[in-house]
Structure 1
Amino acid sequence: MSEPELIVHFTEADAARDLRADARAGLTDRPKWLTPKWLYDAAGSELFERITALPEYYQTRAEHNILTRHAVEIAEITGAGTLVELGSGSSEKTRLLLDALRKTSTLREFVPLDVSESALRQAVTAIAVDYPELRVRGIVGDFTTELAAVPAGQGRLVAFLGGTIGNFLPAERARFLAAVRSSLRPGEWLLLGTDLVKDPRRLVQAYDDAQGVTAEFDRNVLRVLNRELDAEFDADAFEHVARWNAEQEWIEMRLRASRAMRVPVAGLGLTVELERGEEIRTEISAKFRRERVAGELADAGFELSRWWLDEGGDFALSLATAI
């Protein structure tokens, strides 16, 4: 077994800088907002793992269903020599792709990219043990800005799973997909997971579960600000709100102040004023139709090659080739 590599392009200092910039921009804007990536500290990641097992939250199970049924087909179509995973986390779902590509005997290298050095270090170590024939090179970086760090490989397949693309605003999605395309050669591949438009009641329930786990996940971002920016948010004084925006076809997660408050944020040298009932948007999660996915991929320089649904028709995996 070759030793896994870990290439660090995004340090704790970089994360602290970005958090300060994002928090200042969002908390001084009207209406207020926070970037969803700050939901995922260690506590937030643990809460999200609990969310994926909830009965209301179908996305993880649906995507796993598609990969279970079609991973071998994906491997045979792409013949990928290098698998790149963006936002890899623990890389658990990617093992289905790794196993399929192992069967086709084309894969030589696995390159996971994630912003969390600790999570990525654990993932690359585990993958290197279980797939000793692979070269494993982890990249610690923000996949929205560090795509240029992805090394050239043999017939690369980039996997961006979990429906995370839905957390981007439309203009951000366009920039991201264009950046992915610019990092690939013609004929290389993108595998994209997207949640689909469906009954709004089901969507709202998926983001506002009966056990209140998602509410705790949402409020956790305030605890991140308290810890990292010496803020004084009373997280329990905020109500979690999940709302379907029919015009934009996305879910919005918000934190609603239960009372008027003035919140010092010493790390930014500012005081945030909130009226009773004022909301801070913490996440959007766009839902898609096939024509939108195909159109946005085409605009970025991809051609949609395959479109797979889970058995319930809730979620889609798209396989697109760079043209």
Structure 2
Amino acid sequence: MRNPSSSSSFSFAAAQQQQRHPAAPAAPESAALSEFGREMQAGLARRPRSISPKYFYDAAGSQLFDRICELPEYYPTRTELRILGECAGEIAAQVGPGAEIVEFGAGSLTKVRLLLDALEAPRRYLPIDISGEHLAAAAERLRADYPELAVQPIAADYTMPLVLPAPLPGAGKRVGFFPGSTIGNFEPDEALAFLQLAARMLRGGGLLIGVDLVKDPARLHAAYNDAQGVTAAFNLNLLRRANAELDANFDLEGFAHAAFYNAPKQRIEMHLVSRRAQIVSLNGERFAFEEGETIHTEYSHKFTVEGLRALAVKAGFRPGAVWTDPERLFSVHWLGA
């Protein structure tokens, strides 16, 4: 996971379409014309069925993801926060003074606070996230806590090429921040494409990226199948959102959350499984599901340190320092652009 996009992850083909919240029939834009609506219809029509995980993150989905990050089974968030806290001084030395921080898939702006606290006089923070409402509220809270920092949120799909504001006069490096191992949501070729895009955007600066590491499959399974069922609710929220925004009639009781570790491909796969034979309508179109048929909703690839560094070189970065926890569950990399 996650946060924030082939069709089953953040594909760069699909990502050329920007998500916008569709409206009820009386609103200016119909569900049939919304990006979410088009991708959902296409995802249900293809075999195997799939939808990009970027559509998890409406306001409710973003709140559920925040709860996932606090679960005892979900080690990535607390482990990455520990690394960022313990290694903040070394990270700040790589970033330098007066930096402009660009966060991809910013979410609730929690982790960046550890970075901001360690940096020397950061000039501006540019958080990018697809959930504009959630981002705006988080940015307002950050402004209150960091009144000297220019906070300029950008509601956008960060997997698409976008033009950032010109650097502020006298600013230092422009540094990307991509925590949470969201890089794992991409297929390998898509991860390369995103890193190449980031390298161009951050030229002269660098990228600080969090990467989940290959580990015991049992630990991975527990992280995506928590005892409280929050990850299941997060997954099923995609169907609730489709009902609310796309004139769909998914029966949430008719689908089950399923997540498992595919060891040969070193990735978690997350699906919604039809509990029975059923027919679902979406914007007037009907889709038949067999019992056991799935909608694939997310990949979460795991990496070795060496594998991530090799990928970064291929994308045009210069790999630098790497920080890990004692158990080597998670890693944070500095990549020079």
CA apart distance, 1:228 = 1.0
CA apart distance, 1:146 = 4.4
Q: Is the 8 A contact 1:72 1:97 kept in 2?
A: no
Give structure 2 stretches of 5+ with no counterpart: 1-17, 23-28
CA apart distance, 1:163 = 1.1
Please give the secondary structure, in 1, of the residue aligned with 2:232: helix
Q: What is residue 91 of structure 1 aligned with on the other side?
A: 109
Q: What is residue 296 of structure 1 aligned with on the other side?
A: 311
Tell me if 1:222 matches 2:239: yes
Q: How does 1:55-204 map to 2 (within 5 A)?
A: 55-80=72-97, 81-101=99-119, 104-105=120-121, 107-152=122-167, 154-186=172-204, 188-204=205-221
Q: Is the 8 A contact 1:147 1:180 kept in 2?
A: no
Q: How does 1:28-47 map to 2 (within 5 A)?
A: 28-47=45-64
Relative to structure 1, the CA distance from residue 194 to residue 263 in structure 2 (aligned partners, 3 Å threshold; closer, same or farther) is same
Q: What is residue 313 of structure 1 aligned with on the other side?
A: 328
Query: What RMSD over aligned residues (CA atoms) do the two structures have, in Å?
Result: 1.9
Distance 1:30 1:45 in 2: 28
* Cα deviations by residue, 1:77-129 (Å, 9 ceiling, x for unpaired): 2205211111112211101110101xx33x21111111222222222222222
* Cα deviations by residue, 1:211-265 (Å, 9 ceiling, x for unpaired): 2221111111111111111111111111211111112110001111111111111
Please give the secondary structure, in 1, of the residue aligned with 2:334: strand
Distance 1:124 1:42 in 2: 14
Please give the secondary structure, in 2, of the residue aligned with 1:44: helix
CA apart distance, 1:150 = 5.0
Q: Percent identity?
A: 44
CA apart distance, 1:72 = 1.7
Relative to structure 1, the CA distance from residue 204 to residue 259 in structure 2 (aligned partners, 3 Å threshold; closer, same or farther) is same
Distance 1:46 1:40 in 2: 9
TM-score (norm 1): 0.90
Query: Larger helix proportion, structure 1 or 2?
Result: 1
TM-score (norm 2): 0.87
CA apart distance, 1:24 = 2.0
Give structure 1 stretches of 5+ with no counterpart: 1-8
* Cα deviations by residue, 1:125-161 (Å, 9 ceiling, x for unpaired): 2222222222222111111114433543531111001
**One-letter amino acid matched to 1:90:** S
Please give the secondary structure, in 1, of the residue aligned with 2:163: helix
Relative to structure 1, the CA distance from residue 12 to residue 226 in structure 2 (aligned partners, 3 Å threshold; closer, same or farther) is closer
Relative to structure 1, the CA distance from residue 139 to residue 189 in structure 2 (aligned partners, 3 Å threshold; closer, same or farther) is same
Relative to structure 1, the CA distance from residue 37 to residue 11 in structure 2 (aligned partners, 3 Å threshold; closer, same or farther) is closer
* Cα deviations by residue, 1:155-212 (Å, 9 ceiling, x for unpaired): 11110011111111112211111111111223x1100111111011110111011222
Distance 1:77 1:46 in 2: 32
Q: Is the 8 A contact 1:67 1:96 kept in 2?
A: yes
Q: How does 1:224-303 map to 2 (within 5 A)?
A: 224-266=241-283, 269-303=284-318
Q: What is residue 3 of structure 1 aligned with on the other side?
A: none
Q: Is the 8 A contact 1:109 1:134 kept in 2?
A: yes
Distance 1:300 1:163 in 2: 17
